[in-house]
Structure 1
Amino acid sequence: MARRNTRTPLMHRLAKWHIWLGWLVGVPIAMWLATGLLMVSRPIEEVRGDHLRRKVPPQALAIPGSALAGPEADLAEMHVTMQDGRAVAVLTTLDGAVRRVDFATGAPLPALDAAAARALVAARIVGGDMAERVTFFPADRTPFDFRRPLAVWQVALADGTNVYVGRDTGNIEAVRTRWWRAFDLAWGLHIMDLSEREDTSHPILILFAALSLTGALIGCVLMFRRRRARVAGPAS
């Protein structure tokens, strides 16, 4: 009996703190849930207005007088950057193929090998000289934490970081730390999409957001009811 009496005041205090915390955070929680339900109610593409854009056939990039962007090149885009002290053009064709050329001469540049990818990471990334392994992934079988159709070298560092170097771009395309992967998993759970982790508007998410908002609103109403009951006293 004594043990029960010592625990009862603690439970009463916890219940009292719970009520006061409910008054404190009830409105923000209801606001977060209401705004969250609003944001997931429509696909993000529709929010951005992508559905209003008219589809136009892709046009090849053509620059008069340019040997790189001639009519026969079928380029979708050309990105010029500095690599190893020289201007390099990264060319992407309409069918998605990527290659590098010297911007001044137009001479093709070789794709990066494992040694070049390792050296690039060592020079550009803090701790990049602690690479444990270098693995190549083709564009159609990239790791889940990269999720882009681009041929890459995965340089795995000692601290668990994965650095992805484009074989054909010569650039560091992504850095995936352990915290990034934990955040990515949390994001997938948050939007209830563990497969692609991109769909922010689907029936399951909308349903649970609506149920959560309903529960929060009912809880806010019940706090007023409990307060009136305490004011009225046991006689009521």
Structure 2
Amino acid sequence: MGGSNLGQAAIMRRFAKWHIWLGWLAGVPLVMWTLTGLVMVARPIEEVRGNHLRIERESEALPALDLTPAVAALKTLPAPATELSVVMAGKDPVMIVQLSDGSIARFSAADGSRLPQISEKQARATVAQDITGGDRVSAVTAFPASDPPFDFRNPVPVWQVALHDGTHVYVNRDTGRIAAVRTRWWRVFDVMWGLHIMDLQTREDTHHPVLILFATIGLIMSVIGCVLMFRRRKTRVRA
């Protein structure tokens, strides 16, 4: 029995050493995961996404329309249409067409004429109408689909409407709709998310060797810690 106890004690001492060394390796990531997780849940996700800034409006009823000219205009498109929708843009009905190549075309639903991308003035009007505080604009910048802003990261052409409170509202230049709202808190959340998944470059890769390695080390350290806690508790009970 004495030899068995000595053997178990030696194993526990070895586990304790492993626990300490693994703690040095995984300690910083564990603290970082806890801190970033705490920051990310500090505010409701709806507030992070800026949903509280969106002004809910009833959809405007479409007037009686003859869509024959607009539908006929689809023949001029370079690719087949996969989705059609008719919306009111101010007082004018607009047909938005999604093409099979991913591009978007806009037509006047009244006469079928091709419409250009929305202007800066139209983007400002959309934000002022649909976002709380949207009339307090500090800057408006156009971005092509090939070079979207980092806090947007979607390959579509947009107007970035920067508000005085630091909020960025992105208006799709093809559809005229608000594509995203990025508050200051969203940008803090985004940094915390990048740290949480250990990917500050793209902030999208949740499956890479570094993350898997440290998560595995943290798991092993936690399991060894639980074993050590159980053995120490058992020793005290016996004493």
Q: SS at the partner of 1:164?
A: strand
Aligned to 1:77: 82
Q: Structure 1 residues 215, 68: CA separation in 2 closer, same or farther (over 3 Å shift)?
A: farther
Q: Is the 8 A contact 1:75 1:91 kept in 2?
A: no
Query: Alpha-carbon deviations, 1:178-226, whole Å to 9, x = none?
Result: 1111111111222222222222212222111111111111111111122
| AA of the residue aligned to 2:174 | D
- Aligned CA-pair RMSD: 2.3
Alpha-carbon distance, 1:89 to partner: 2.0
Q: Structure 1 residues 107, 71: CA separation in 2 closer, same or farther (over 3 Å shift)?
A: closer
Alpha-carbon distance, 1:127 to partner: 0.7
Supply the distance in 1 between the matched residues of 2:182 and 2:96 (Cα, whole angstroms).
23
Gaps of 5+ in 2: 1-33, 35-69
Whether 1:217 aligns to 2:217 is no
Q: Is the 8 A contact 1:164 1:174 kept in 2?
A: yes
Whether 1:91 aligns to 2:93 is no
Which of 114, 129, 141 matches 2:120?
114
Q: SS at the partner of 2:221?
A: helix
Aligned to 1:205: 211
Whether 1:67 aligns to 2:72 is yes
Give the structure-2-normalised TM-score. Answer: 0.64
Whether 1:185 aligns to 2:218 is no
Query: Alpha-carbon deviations, 1:112-140, whole Å to 9, x = none?
Result: 22222112111110010111111111111
Q: SS at the partner of 1:153?
A: strand
The percentage of counterpart residues that share the same residue type is 53
Alpha-carbon distance, 1:70 to partner: 3.7
Which is further off, 84-93 or 173-182?
A: 84-93
| AA of the residue aligned to 1:100 | R
Give the structure-1-normalised TM-score. Answer: 0.64
Q: Is the 8 A contact 2:74 2:81 kept in 1?
A: no
- Counterparts of 1:1-236 in structure 2, within 5 Å, are 66-70=71-75, 73-80=78-85, 81-233=87-239
| AA of the residue aligned to 2:199 | D
Gaps of 5+ in 1: 1-28, 30-64
Supply the distance in 1 between the matched residues of 2:142 and 2:191 (Cα, whole angstroms).
24
Q: Is the 8 A contact 1:142 1:148 kept in 2?
A: yes
Relative contact order (alpha carbons < 8 A, sep ≥ 6): 1 or 2 greater? 2
| AA of the residue aligned to 1:88 | V
Q: Structure 1 residues 105, 127: CA separation in 2 closer, same or farther (over 3 Å shift)?
A: same
Aligned to 2:62: none
Query: Alpha-carbon deviations, 1:32-83, whole Å to 9, x = none?
Result: xxxxxxxxxxxxxxxxxxxxxxxxxxxxxxxxx9424448541353341332
Q: Is the 8 A contact 1:78 1:89 kept in 2?
A: no
| AA of the residue aligned to 1:78 | E
